[in-house]
């Protein structure tokens, strides 16, 4: 026989003004996907304009971009790993909660599963906090890559304008 609703309500839950761990994971995933997409778009622009300008990999602008690109990739890998860890912890805490409900309240098994549920909730919250941090670390290299791509865009436009002016 499982616990009654009143007994389950006695288990601590997150504060009403906070967000659930699941909501935080979804937000972090959304921002991760957003920055990953922006980084990919900036990379495409940079490669296209670099090819148009004839930049080689040894060019200082190209090397700067590669450094920002590598930093963004490293941060993205860390964020994705932590996102998976947080999602797995969330699923485990749901399973622990369901298992705890199958035992008589205050039995040793119920106490053990509730304790596991609370521990997993803390792990999931810690994991999603690390994801948010890693996604924030992605911002700077992604924006820097976009700025580098815009600089190349301006260089291409200036060269085209000069070329058109000379050909008149």
What are 101-136's pLDDT values in tens digits? 999 999 999 999 999 999 988 888 888 888 888 877
Please give the model's pTM, rounded to 2 decimal places: 0.65
**Is the confidence at residue 35, as pLDDT, over 50?**
yes
**Is the confidence at residue 22, as pLDDT, over 90?**
no
Is the C-alpha dihedral spanning 5, 8, 13, 19 positive or negative? negative
Q: Token match 């304008």: residue?
A: 161
pLDDT of amino acid 149: 63
pLDDT of amino acid 50: 72
Domains in the chain: boundaries: 23-167
**Is the confidence at residue 63, as pLDDT, over 60?**
yes
Where do runs of H (alpha helix) occur along the chain? 5-9, 21-53, 60-101, 108-167
Ramachandran angles phi, psi of 115, nearest 5°: -65, -45
Q: Which residues contact 161 (CB under 8 A, 6 or more apart)?
A: none
């Amino acid at each position: 026989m499982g616990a009654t609703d009143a007994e389950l309500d006695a288990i601590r839950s997150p504060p009403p003004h906070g967000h659930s761990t699941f909501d935080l994971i979804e937000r972090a995933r959304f921002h991760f996907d957003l920055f990953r997409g922006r980084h990919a778009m900036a990379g495409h622009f940079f490669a296209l304009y670099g090819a148009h300008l004839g930049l080689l990999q040894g060019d200082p602008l190209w090397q700067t971009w590669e450094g920002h690109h590598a930093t963004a990739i490293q941060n993205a890998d860390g964020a994705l790993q932590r996102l998976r860890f947080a999602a797995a912890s969330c699923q485990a805490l749901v399973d622990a909660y369901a298992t705890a409900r199958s035992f008589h309240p205050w039995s040793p098994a119920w106490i053990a599963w509730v304790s596991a549920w609370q521990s997993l909730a803390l792990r999931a919250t810690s994991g999603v906090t690390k994801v948010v941090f890693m996604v924030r670390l992605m911002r700077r290299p992604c924006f820097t890559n976009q700025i580098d791509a815009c600089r190349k865009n301006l260089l291409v436009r200036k060269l085209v304008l000069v070329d058109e002016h000379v050909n008149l």
